[in-house]
Amino acid sequence: MFSHRDIWAALDRLAVHLSTSPSGLAKQAGLDPTTFNKSKRTSGSKDRWPSTESLSKVLGVVGMSFEDFARFADNAPNNGPAIPVIGLAQAGDEGFFDDSGFPKGGGWDDVRVPGLQSGGVYALQIAGDSMAPVLRAGDRILVAPNESVRKGDRVVVKTIDGEVMAKELYKQTAHKIELISLNPEYDDRVLSKKDVHWMARIVWVSQ
């Protein structure tokens, strides 16, 4: 049987594995940033549990089952598969991707995301401020080339010329792709499909 301390410790470990804090984990799940603060873990002299709703939202965003989380709480965490990771600037170089936007070749580091089934997912580390304040230097984004992309999704696009950008998909037609810049100081982009090497959906941001 798990104690209050086991569950909170598992949440803390999950945040560390995702290179974030308990507050960052809460924000990613659409919760109040203070949801998992130390002050919320007790009420007077009594220990408190995290709510089922807040835990469910976190696991849903991470793509982690309750079974996987139970392994964390039981001090037997499932570290998940090794996820390839490179810097966003490197992604513009030759040799890192195939024609469909999947990682290949050498030069990749790796991170581990508990509960995630890799399925070709990889991570890019943000540099610079072109995507601030949504994405900041040092953030890691998980990219899934095999996921379908819809209007409103945040995506990574690589052009034939080797330019790599992370933006929001506004519209996609048979001939062009319209992208909204995440940083209002940078221009939106309209690209001809013949100039796009690949486009892949961002499925997670680790801050």
Along the 207 residues of the chain, how does pLDDT read in single tens digits?
A: 678 888 888 888 888 777 788 898 899 889 999 999 988 888 887 888 899 999 999 888 877 778 778 876 775 545 566 788 898 888 988 888 888 888 887 778 777 665 555 567 888 988 888 888 888 888 888 898 988 899 999 999 999 999 999 999 999 999 999 999 988 899 999 999 999 999 999 887 765
Return d(Cα 21, Cα 4) in angstroms, integer.
19
Structural domain 4-73, CATH architecture: Orthogonal Bundle (1.10)
Just give the CATH number of 82-206.
Answer: 2.10.109.10
- SS3 state at 103: strand
Looking at residue 179, its pLDDT comes to: 96
Residues in contact with 162: Cβ distance below 8 Å, sequence separation at least 6, in sequence order: 92, 93, 94
Return d(Cα 104, Cα 198) in angstroms, integer.
14
Measured at the CA of 63, the angle between CA 59 and CA 67, to 5 degrees, comes to 65
Looking at residue 113, its pLDDT comes to: 62
CA-nearest of 201, 203, 151 to 177 is: 151
For the chain, the structural domain boundaries read 4-73, 82-206
